[in-house]
């Protein structure tokens, strides 16, 4: 059964999308984090370039319909396994193909 409830569409699948997008944009996350740690209070001004690059990367994934479908398929697989076994599996980390 692949019907989705409101909470699954609007909360659970977007959570998977956010987690995967952060992993896929990890180089930009690290650059922004490093800039913020080095700059301190002035990070708002000095880390604009890194923040823009990170935001562009994340929004690119969030707005991609095929990425949504991948995450939806992953969620449905997890839900099916949970319903069959009653055991919730921890989400595995994805690695970017280089």
Please report whether residue 32 resides in a domain: yes
Query: Which tops the pLDDT comparison, 49 or 2?
Result: 49
Q: What is the pLDDT of residues 47-77, one digit of tens each?
A: 999 999 999 999 999 999 999 999 999 999 9
- pTM (whole model) above 0.95: no
To the nearest 10 degrees (0 to 180), the angle between helices 48-62 and 26-39 is 150
Please report whether residue 86 resides in a domain: no
Q: What range defines the domain where residue 44 resides?
A: 6-74
Please report whether residue 1 resides in a domain: no
Q: What is the pLDDT of residues 3-35, one digit of tens each?
A: 889 999 999 999 999 999 999 999 999 999 999
What does each C-alpha distance from 10 to 22, 26, 65, 82 come to in angstroms?
Answer: 18, 24, 14, 20
Structural domain tally of the chain? 1
């Amino acid at each position: 059964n692949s019907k989705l409830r409101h909470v699954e569409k609007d909360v659970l699948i977007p959570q998977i999308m956010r987690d995967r997008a952060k992993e896929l944009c990890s180089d930009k996350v690290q650059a922004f984090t490093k800039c913020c740690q080095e700059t301190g209070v002035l990070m708002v001004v000095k880390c604009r370039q890194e923040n823009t690059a990170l935001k562009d990367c994340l929004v690119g994934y969030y707005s991609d319909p095929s990425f949504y479908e991948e995450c939806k398929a992953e969620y449905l697989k997890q839900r099916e396994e949970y319903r069959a076994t009653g055991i919730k599996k921890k989400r595995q980390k994805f690695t970017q193909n280089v």
